[in-house]
Structure 1
Amino acid sequence: MVVRENFDEQLDDLKSQLVHLGKLANTAVERSIRALNNQDIELALQIIDDDYKINVLEEEINETATWLIAKEQPLATDLRKLITTLKITTDIERIGDLAVNIAKSVIRIGEKQLMIPVDRIPEMVDITQQMIEKSLLAYYEEDIHKAKEVADTDDHVDQMYGSLIKELLEYMTQNPQHISQVTQLAFICRYLERIADHTTNISEGIIYLVKGKRFDLNQ
């Protein structure tokens, strides 16, 4: 009984660590867009430097989960919890990487005046961050209803991405002298769309955790 209690405590600790990892990644996304809005090169550089915190915690979570699988040889639900933890941790780490990619685009844009309004990009960010927050809550509560809501929201992000890319391409065609800046803004939109996709992957992991079945929610 004591062994089981210790194992349950370790699973709970792992869950809390993963949620903390997700919050770190979400904060990195928020800071990257703040750096874009303010054309804050120093903040962008800080985001890149701070990425190691996400990488270190991801490695710690993966090592603990792998160790528990090998040591405890868990069955059924507990094994799914650990497998899901490994998968979700990877998606969260990728979200952190994409925040770094946004920061790098901010640096490439530099302090030159933005020639095209970017007010719709923060709107896309708001929706994406809400997806991340809801997916983390769904994971913590093992709530498949919330997980499916996240996946449904991804369709809206895809539509926003398509609309923004169309605007940027039209502007680029009419103003080829600004092709470099517009290209970086297009990359940023793509990175945000990919963040939403990884968040949907997290939702898939939650459904697998609860139902024991895999679903492709990105279709």
Structure 2
Amino acid sequence: MVLPTLYGVSASPLAYSDEKGNVGVLRTINNAWGERIIRVAAVEMGCSIMLSGFHMSGATAKQALVRDSLTLCANVGRAIVDARVAKVDPVEKVIGLLGGRAIFGGKVTDVERATTSGFARGRATISEGDDTLTISFQNEHLVAELNGQVLTTTPDLIMVLEHESGEPVTTEGLRYGQRVRVITSPADERWHSPAAISMVGPRYFGYDLDPHRFDGTVRPASPTAETREAN
């Protein structure tokens, strides 16, 4: 489920280990099988393991990876810290760096979460006044709906930040009563290719939706946009 797959880069041999010292090497016929098998191993090893795979040349890496992504991560973290020191809004700084947009802000009023098939699956509701934003997630935030209308979906990024500090809130970290703000930013355009959508689009995760990109307007929700278990 990463861009090198679109360039024909094999994940195998895929080495993995956990903090207890268990180590393995996986060789699969394709990357889809690699993701399928390694997720089972990850569950058995405590839902958190280290991986090393997708071996490629430097020339291939320049094509198959998102340029400057680690630099962007560092810059976002630095901007949050600097904004706190300067007593300015860190969330706005993050939005500016990511070329994103604010979706919603409010209090987390409900979180449903269960770990199944290697995913932390669930839904979170965030409310402010008469409005409610619902985020559906499976390890990552995948679909955001405001009052039943779809705003944005995977493969674009949906991020939850603590209201004042700008600290990121993961799907595992969502808790009742938190004051948060939800933002979105566009993914690398390659994630919107047909091959990528089949790998990380809403339907892959079991949502009967086409991809939505937030442009500041609210779109009607699909009448069949109910979450179902992914195969």
TM-score by length of 1: 0.24
Higher strand proportion: 2
Return the structure number with greater relative CO, CA threshold 8 A, min gap 6: 1
Question: Larger % of helix: which?
Answer: 1
Q: Provide the TM-score with structure 2 as the length reference.
A: 0.24
